[in-house]
Amino acid sequence: MKHFYHKSAFTMIELVFVIVVAGIIAVIALPRFDRNNLQEAADQVMNHLRYTQHLAMQDDKFSPNDANWHKKRWQLIFTQENESENLFSYTIFSDTAGTSSGNPDDGEIAKNPLDPTKLLTGGANGVETTDKRATQKMNLGKAYGITNVKLSTPCSISSSRRIVFDYLGRPLRGNPSSYSSSYPNNRLINSTCEITLETKNGKGISITIEPETGFVKLKN
């Protein structure tokens, strides 16, 4: 005849041990979670920079009948506005409407290639971050806890947080709405550009964009 022996689920010592181990794992996991968030945010931004470059190369804005054609180049802009709940977000757009103000408007924003019902913005004029058409993960503050976006001197001018691409895929800096010609002085990026994403605890991750080629990668 078989005998079955029953063991209580946990003794008090075992329970204390589990709680201690769980606490250690939590302490280790928290900074790792933060790093993973940064990595995921950086990967997403890199992919969207490449997509912006792709759009610029496929959609040359040159027109002999439009003196301001260069203001309509595809660009990626980081903003912190009411539409994104004052959190850092970004938008991919071509500034085609009206006088090319330099700001993304509803009808100027690229469609999300993974879901054409959505626009490639985390919050912009006419498309708030809560709008069902917004791509929620492009609100970096809400999705990944990003509290600051910094652009190094080679890719920023007048505190502008945007990257523009021409039909050759070359990166330019500054607001195209202020361009007086197709290639004004000091607008083509001529040395490695860095975009740094930071969290509230001061941790950061940097993306580099090379001049001429526009090659995008994670900084080592």
pLDDT of 26 over the 80 cut: no
Nearest to 211 by CA among 154, 160, 149, 129: 154
Q: Is 106 exposed, middle or buried (0-12, 13-18, 19+ CB in 10 A)?
A: middle
Using DSSP's 3-state secondary structure scheme, residue 161 falls into: coil
pLDDT digit string, tens, across residues 153-195: 999 998 899 999 999 999 999 999 999 899 998 999 999 999 9
pLDDT digit string, tens, across residues 86-139: 999 999 999 986 667 888 998 999 999 999 999 999 999 999 999 999 999 999
Share of the chain above pLDDT 90, in %: 76
